[in-house]
Structure 1
Amino acid sequence: MIEFIFTKVPPVYLIIGSTLAALFMGTMAAIVRSKAAKRPVSVKKIILPPIFMSTGALMFIFEEFRVAPLQIVEAIVVGMLFSIILIRTTNFEVRENEIFIKRSKAFVFILFGLLIIRLIGKLLLSNTIDVGELGGMFWILAFGMIVPWRIAMLVKYKKLQNTKGVGI
C-alpha cells in the first residue's frame, strides 16, 4: 500500500508536503513548550515525549524508510549535536515550592533555527537520497536529539529536586 502511494505521488509533492508538515509541527512544539512553562514539571512530563516518539520507529517496518548503517550513525551524531543546544538552554527554577522550566526567549529561536537547518538539509539531500529513506534519517535525527535532551532534563530536575527538597 505505502509503495503504491510513493509511486503515484511525484517526489516534489512529498518534499513540499513533508516540509509544510515539519513547519506545522515546529510551530505546535513552540506553542506546547511555551504553555508547558506555565505548569510545574514532573518526571512523567520529562520522560513521556521520547517514549511516545519511539512509536515512530514502526516506520522502519516498511522498506521505503529503511536507512543504511552509516546514515543511522550520521543522523544520531547530528541529532546529539543539536541536543547540546537544547540541553544548554533548558533550565529549571523553583516557584511556590514547585519546579518549573525557566522561560527562555532564546528557546523559540533555537527551536525554529534547528527546524530551518533540518529543512535546508532535507531540501539539499532530497536530490540524492530517496524521500522515504530521508524521512527515516530525519526521524532518527529527531530521536537522537530528544533522548539526550530529555535525559539531561531529568538529571537537572532530579538534582534540583534533591538539593531544594521541592516537588517531591
Structure 2
Amino acid sequence: MNYVLASTVGAVGMAIFVTFMRMKAAKKPASAKKIILPPIFMSTGALMFIFPMFRVHSLQIIEALTVGMLFSILLIKTSKFEVRGREIFLKRSKAFAFILIGLLIVRVIAKLVLSSSFDVGELGGMFWILAFGMIVPWRVAMYVQFRKLQNELHSGTNMN
C-alpha cells in the first residue's frame, strides 16, 4: 500500500506541474517541437517493461490504451490554438485544469480499487500505458491543428 500512496502523491505532483507548465506555455508561441517532444520523452518510460514486474498481459494493454484514448478526447477538446499577430499560441482553457484534476481523481480512485487486484508493478505498467495512450492522440491532434493554422498563416489566408 505504501507504493500506491507514493505513486498517488507523485501523480498529484505531476498534475500540479503540468497545470503550471500549461499556463506558462500559453504565454509563448507554440512550435511543432514543443508539441511533439513530450510523447517522445515519455516513451523512454517503456524501458520499465524490460523488468518482469512491470509486464502486463495483452488484454490489459488493450484496456489501458482504450481508457487512455478515451481520456485523450477531453484533452483534445480543450486544446485549441489561436493566432496572435503572426504567431500561433495555445489558447488558455478554463476547463483544462478541471479536466486534468478530474482525470487525476479518476486515476487515483482506479488505482486504489485496482491495487488490491493487481501487483504494484503490473499496475504501474498499466497506468503508464494509459498515460501514453492519452498523450499520443492528444499531441497528434494538437500537431495536426497547429500545422493547419501554420499553413493558413503562411498561405496568407485571413485568420479572422
Shorter-normalised TM range: over 0.9
Percent of matched pairs sharing the same residue: 66
* Equivalent in 58, 83, 86 of residue 94 of structure 1: 83
- Are residues 1:120 and 2:123 paired? no
Paired residue for 1:141?
Answer: 130
**SS of equivalent to 2:19:** helix
1:57-87 residue CA offsets vs partner (Å, 9 max, x unmatched): 0000110100010000000000000001111
- Superposition deviation, residue 162 in structure 1: 1.0
Whole-angstrom CA distance in 1 between matches of 2:122 and 2:106: 18
Whichever residue aligns with residue 145 of structure 1, its letter is: M
Whole-angstrom CA distance in 2 between matches of 1:75 and 1:165: 39
- Are residues 1:60 and 2:38 paired? no
Matches within 5 A, 1:7-156: 12-156=1-145
Whole-angstrom CA distance in 1 between matches of 2:124 and 2:16: 19
- Superposition deviation, residue 165 in structure 1: 2.1
Whichever residue aligns with residue 67 of structure 2, its letter is: V
Whichever residue aligns with residue 14 of structure 1, its letter is: Y
1:16-51 residue CA offsets vs partner (Å, 9 max, x unmatched): 111101100111011111100100000000000000
Give the TM-score, by structure 1 length: 0.91
Gaps of 5+ in 1: 1-11
Runs of 4+ residues deviating >6 angstroms: none
Give the TM-score, by structure 2 length: 0.95
Aligned Cα root-mean-square deviation (Å): 0.9
- Superposition deviation, residue 94 in structure 1: 0.5
**SS of equivalent to 1:165:** helix
Whole-angstrom CA distance in 2 between matches of 1:38 and 1:112: 22
Gaps of 5+ in 2: 156-160
Whichever residue aligns with residue 131 of structure 2, its letter is: A
Whichever residue aligns with residue 116 of structure 1, its letter is: I
**SS of equivalent to 2:145:** helix
**SS of equivalent to 1:119:** helix
Q: How many residues align?
A: 155
Whole-angstrom CA distance in 2 between matches of 1:70 and 1:85: 24
Paired residue for 2:158?
Answer: none
